[in-house]
Structure 1
Amino acid sequence: MTQLEELLATWLPAQRWFAGKGTAIDTLRIDADHILLPGLPGLRLLVAEVVQGSRTDRYQVLLGMRAVGAVPDELVHAVIGTCPAPADLDSPAPVVVYDAAHDAAMTGHLLSWIAENRDVGAVRFRAAPGTEVRTGLRSLVITGEQSNTSLVYGEEYVLKMFRRLWPGTNPDLELTSALATVDSPHIARPHGWIDVDLVDPASGRTVPTTLAMLQTYLRSATDGWVLAATSVRDLYASPELAPSEAGGDFAGEAQRLGAATAAVHRDLARVLPTGVLSPEGQAHLAATMMARLHTAVDEVPELAPYAETLYSAFEALGNTSTDLPVQRIHGDYHLGQVVRTDAGWVLLDFEGEPAVPVSERQKLSSPLRDVAGMLRSFDYAARYQLVGRTDNPALVTAARAWAQRNREAFCAGYTRGGGIDPDLHQVVLRAFEYDKAVYEVLYEARHRPHWISIPLDSITALTG
């Protein structure tokens, strides 16, 4: 490895968005080095290929370069290290390299290039058709994101940089752009994107690959998870009350969120392909769920008492004799993916599960999978504040009551909003929800063992 590659091999695993934490990097190589601003200070867009055992991932790094001693104090925290200058600088002096997502002087160019529909070498910057992008806005990195990096420009735009790259158009850009064509009020409108060609290892073809997307910044928005968690805290302060009587009852918002979700599903079905999953396809889907359950029971013995009930639910899906309508869906739907604005609920992050290749995320699925994801999220919102407090039966009872009330409200809103009635499709919904709960058990066991009680308690309630 070059010295720069060695620096990246040390720096990458420390980033929140690095997917291979806990596994040693075998090799790292710079797969592509796109010069966006030559000289010093300079800006480059790197694609770093990381091999860890049997897996290979590619990551986007927006790399700034400055002379030694010329890094402003506000960028010291973003420094990756010092290495020899690249050959194009024709300089014997070393340079300091850093994460330029934090450099507002550099990221201002990204916004300008999107507005100008400019090609900078092989990297394409595009404004959405019919959109005028305002430039001259200073950017600030949003803290706390897990899988991507987002920059807010003033109070107008947010640029989401997709750190882990999969060849193809990111579903977030694809679905949000499709919904914009029918003026959906439940999305943050897209204003542009950045892309570059990458080779798809599966096919060997070179395909345009989304690096970032520019959307409206929702300055008045409140995170759905925060709103739900606040409602739960209000109830826990008076657990003797019914959820409907507590000061922060969330059921009205849950119902409106259900209606918004149904509206988005209807619009996606209008503008993108739909289809049906045959009984044979459902049997294959059920087999996949059963295989995940088998893995989970082997790894988490506490799940064993529920295995028979869970297996029966998946078996029921596999024995279905009617076709299942499928379409494009959100794919990773929960309270953290929605925000409440003054105008209503808005859905965000349509990219699906970031760990899955784009080609997989683009496959059609039942909208009930999204419904199941949100129902699981209500359970999490109700129970995560009980971690370490399950010896209080009043709080446990209140948590179950809160989750049930909001689950019912969401489903009612979804049905009234024109979605398929979850009550009439319990076999499918139950299978999706149980499968998500099994996934959660595995995730918590591997990453947050102190939270494993949350999905296990939920499974107890669902199967009891």
Structure 2
Amino acid sequence: MTAVTDLLAGWMPGQRWFGGKGRDWAEVSDEGFFLDQSDPVLSVHRVQITYTDGATETYLVPLSWRESPAEELAGAFIGAVTGSNGTENYAYDAMRDREATVPWLTHLVAASTVGPMRFHPAGVAHIPEGLPGDIISTEQSNTSLVYGESAILKLFRRLEPGLNPDVEIHDALRRAENPHIAGLLGHIEIDGAPGEEPATVAMLQTFVPNASDGWRLATSSVRDLYAEADLHADEVGGDFAGESERLGEATASVHADLARVLPTEPADRDWYRTLAEQMTQRLDAALAVVPDLAEHADALRTLYTAVAGTEEPVTRQRVHGDLHLGQVLRTTSGWIVLDFEGEPARPLAARRELDTPLRDVAGMLRSFDYAARHMLVEQPDDPQRAYRAQEWAERNRAAFCAGYSAAGGVPLAADSALLRAFEADKAVYECVYEARNRPHWLMIPLSSLSRLTSGD
């Protein structure tokens, strides 16, 4: 193991974007090249980790190098490496070193090829060359830089062969002139092993300033409702139903354009059976983690069995794959949908498969439930709050569905076994997540499963 590999192996497990936390490593290697050799020097490393179970993952890590310590970058310091001439070289997380963020856009404007990395400008709008980027500290699986108020670069940390669906779908919706996305300005890819497709490294989009994310707006509405003990959800000044309806319309617009410009196909019986089997397998795995799911297990299996035999017609198409209130922004002109890469933990090939728009609808309906009930965690035994949370959730779920249907989305039947099953499957996933990360939040998906399995 080289000195740089050794540094990265010690630093990566502590990063939010690293997905292998808690897994035992068998081997690690890195392959790097220089993207810019000015001051600071910028190198890019592909770090391949082999775990003891035989699985491998490859991560992208840009480093900036300085000849002396930079006190202002103490929080980004990774370590020092002694060069062949005996001098110390100081390595920093290049995404947190503003001076080292300039070359990404310089190369994108020039459509450069640097070593195995190729830069592809979309050629549709101005790219702010020469500006440094400021990191967004709240992200988890990826890392993003904002350049001024005009562009945002998302670096995909975990590399897989193939075009990332975030790039592919944004490009398709740009061609369709859909108004509910932030425009794609370009993307970057890196060559893989012989015979492999290039992996997507990053994408550049138009930055949307002065926008509010859907989760923040929705939860603010819930707080307003809780503060007005004598008013119903439709009487509170912060009523969110109008926004929920417009969000439903925006979601339907995105789905319609994806079906128009990307492939579609009718679902066959094998698809329904496979879907039901996958849901059942996820339930079985979740039961081992969340014993409280046991009381719902039989009803969930019955619900999933109904999916295998349903006659609901489905036209499979490209979808968002991980839609919730945190993935949408409200601007002065309407809703913008973000992050079309799907669930980052799933293999890229699976995220690019055709699916039903009902999966996205179910994800958003689950998000309304979370927004309504998140404050119940503080007062779980308050029946008045529980009633108001249910009232808010029902009102906004109904408004979203009404907007979606009115804008020409796939029909949303009230008795849809598919939609109910997708919601339940998502709630089972949430139970596992909460049990592992926020046990005091487990009550939220469990209460939803009570509703979903009772047929209410």
TM-score by length of 1: 0.94
Unaligned runs of 5+ in 1: none
> In the alignment, what sits opposite 2:81?
83
* 2:93 aligned to which of 96, 99, 102: 99
Give per-residue Cα distances to partners, 1:68-112, cap 9 Å, x unaligned: xx2332212101011233xxxx53322111111112222111111
In 1: Cα distance, 2:214 partner to 2:354 partner? 26
Q: Could you say what secondary structure the match of 1:457 adopts?
A: helix
Q: CA shift at 1:416, angstroms?
A: 0.5
Give per-residue Cα distances to partners, 1:409-455, cap 9 Å, x unaligned: 00000000110121266111011111111111111112222211111
Q: CA shift at 1:126, angstroms?
A: 1.8
> In the alignment, what sits opposite 1:362?
352
Bigger mean CA deviation after superposition, 128-137 or 109-118 = 128-137
* 1:219 aligned to which of 185, 209, 232: 209
In 2: Cα distance, 1:322 partner to 1:235 partner? 37
> In the alignment, what sits opposite 1:404?
394
In 1: Cα distance, 2:181 partner to 2:38 partner? 39
Q: CA shift at 1:62, angstroms?
A: 0.7
Q: Could you say what secondary structure the match of 1:299 adopts?
A: coil
Q: CA shift at 1:240, angstroms?
A: 3.8
What code does the residue aligned with 2:210 have?
A: S
> In the alignment, what sits opposite 1:287?
277
> In the alignment, what sits opposite 2:142?
148
> In the alignment, what sits opposite 1:24?
24
Q: CA shift at 1:51, angstroms?
A: 2.3
> In the alignment, what sits opposite 2:44?
45
Q: Could you say what secondary structure the match of 1:61 adopts?
A: strand
In 1: Cα distance, 2:112 partner to 2:126 partner? 14
Q: CA shift at 1:322, angstroms?
A: 5.7
> In the alignment, what sits opposite 1:6?
6
Q: CA shift at 1:231, angstroms?
A: 0.6
> In the alignment, what sits opposite 2:123?
129
> In the alignment, what sits opposite 1:157?
151
Contact 1:275 1:327 in 2 (8 A): yes
In 1: Cα distance, 2:158 partner to 2:98 partner? 22
- State the number of aligned residues: 453
Contact 2:128 2:147 in 1 (8 A): no
> In the alignment, what sits opposite 2:107?
113
Contact 2:109 2:129 in 1 (8 A): yes
1:326 aligns with 2:316: yes
In 2: Cα distance, 1:181 partner to 1:392 partner? 50
For 1:429-448, list aligned pairs within 5 A. Answer: 429-448=419-438
Q: CA shift at 1:177, angstroms?
A: 0.7
In 2: Cα distance, 1:208 partner to 1:23 partner? 27
- The alignment's C-alpha RMSD in Å is 1.5
> In the alignment, what sits opposite 1:66?
66
In 2: Cα distance, 1:58 partner to 1:340 partner? 35
For 1:254-403, list aligned pairs within 5 A. Answer: 254-321=244-311, 323-403=313-393
The percent of aligned pairs where both chains have the same amino acid is: 48
Q: CA shift at 1:323, angstroms?
A: 4.7
Give per-residue Cα distances to partners, 1:235-272, cap 9 Å, x unaligned: 11124421111221110000000000000000000110
Q: CA shift at 1:114, angstroms?
A: 0.6
Q: CA shift at 1:354, angstroms?
A: 0.6
In 2: Cα distance, 1:249 partner to 1:317 partner? 35
Q: Could you say what secondary structure the match of 1:421 adopts?
A: coil
Contact 1:196 1:211 in 2 (8 A): yes
Q: Could you say what secondary structure the match of 2:192 adopts?
A: strand
Give per-residue Cα distances to partners, 1:362-392, cap 9 Å, x unaligned: 0000000000000001111111121131111
